[in-house]
Amino acid sequence: MADTNLLYQKIANDLRESIYSGTLKEGERLPTEMDLAKQYDVSRITSKRALEELKQSGLAYSIRGMVMSSTYSSSPVALAAASCTG
């Protein structure tokens, strides 16, 4: 069985990269827990943990049950710090 910690971190890192690269724009809705669970073939709890990590790091926020990408700094220091979280 795959390590759940690595799975949620992979999802969070993939989403983080999409935000930093501009694929996901500020204020854009992120995939739902269920969408991520299906895409990565993981439980909803694992995808929820990935989204929670993004919210805790300030890269996402919730509005009425939706998780949105947040304002972020694309400076190398901020990118390095965000890469080290989790």
The per-residue pLDDT for range 43-81, each reduced to its tens digit, is: 999 999 999 999 899 888 887 766 766 654 333 333 333
The length of the chain in residues reads: 86
The chain-wide mean pLDDT, for the chain, equals 77
Per the listing, tokens 């710090």 go with: 81
Q: For residue 47, what are its two tokens?
A: 């995808």
pLDDT at position 46 = 95
Task: For the full predicted model, state whether its pTM sits above 0.85.
Answer: no
Give the pLDDT mean for 5-27. 90
Using the 8-state DSSP alphabet, how is residue 29 labeled? B
pLDDT at position 1 = 45
- Stated as kind and residue range, the H or E segment containing 66 is strand 66-69
